[in-house]
């Protein structure tokens, strides 16, 4: 498991947007999201952590619902995560066709919009989402662009409605991405207040 560090927190209206490095399964939230593939298989990264701690039932449920279209969201139970972590639901964000394939970053804005809309419809008060498209191999500029795109999608969704989601936690697996998350959150706040 990746060691979790101190949260970066910014309010956008009534919703607290937090950023931290670590694992989505370690966040004190009602629901978690992760990057899924169209077959529902869960092996590495956030998916592997969910499968390891939640049990194989989460993956079995995801695979039983397959195949999934790119850019869609589907929901499963959280297996043992409900008892051990108080996480009720897992939101599967389908951004790749096959296991190990890079996520389709062009689908991120729409997927984030759909994810948050479905979470709000399900009356989720707190949700953790992994940073999408940020890899250790990417340059700092590429990682910042991916993070800014994701933060922008979340903030755009929040601006269009009075959100009932109380907290959205953006989770980076790598501590090096924490300062980039802080920059993206501050940039989004400045842009909102200046418009």
State whether CATH 3.40.50.670 applies to domain 8-194.
Answer: no
Q: DSSP string spanning 150-167? A: HHHHHHHHHHTS-----E
pLDDT at site 193: 61
CA distance 98 to 134: 18
pLDDT digits (tens, 9 = 90+) for 71-100: 999 999 999 999 999 999 999 999 988 877
Q: Report d(CA 62, CA 79) in Å as an integer.
A: 12
Indicate whether 194 pLDDT > 80.
no
Residue 169 parent element (H or E) = strand 167-172
The CA-atom distances, in angstroms, between 24 and each of 40, 131, 167, 188 are: 18, 10, 14, 22
pLDDT in tens, 39-57: 998 887 788 889 889 999 9
Q: Is the pLDDT of residue 124 over 90?
A: yes
pLDDT for res 48: 83
Q: How far apart are CA 186 and CA 9, in angstroms?
A: 10
Domain ranges of the chain: 8-194
Instruction: Look at the alpha carbons of 68, 70, 76, 82 in this order and tell me if their dihedral is positive or negative.
Output: positive
């Amino acid at each position: 498991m990746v060691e979790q560090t101190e949260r970066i927190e910014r309010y956008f209206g009534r919703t607290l947007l937090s950023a931290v490095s670590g694992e989505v399964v370690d966040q004190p939230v009602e629901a978690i999201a992760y990057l899924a593939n169209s077959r529902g298989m869960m092996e590495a990264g956030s998916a592997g952590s969910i499968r390891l701690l939640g049990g194989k039932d989460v993956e079995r449920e995801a695979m039983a619902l397959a195949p999934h279209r790119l850019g869609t969201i589907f929901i499963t139970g959280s297996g043992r995560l409900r008892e051990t972590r108080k996480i009720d639901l897992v939101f599967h964000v389908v951004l790749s066709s096959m296991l190990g394939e890079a996520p389709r970053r062009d689908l991120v804005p729409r997927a984030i919009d759909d994810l948050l809309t479905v979470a709000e419809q399900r009356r989720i008060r707190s949700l953790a989402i992994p940073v999408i498209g940020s890899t250790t191999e990417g340059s700092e500029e590429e990682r910042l662009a991916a993070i800014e795109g994701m933060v922008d999608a979340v903030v755009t969704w929040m601006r269009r409605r009075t959100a009932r989601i109380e907290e959205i936690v953006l989770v980076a697996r790598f501590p090096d991405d924490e300062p980039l998350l802080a920059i993206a959150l501050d940039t989004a706040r400045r842009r909102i207040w200046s418009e």
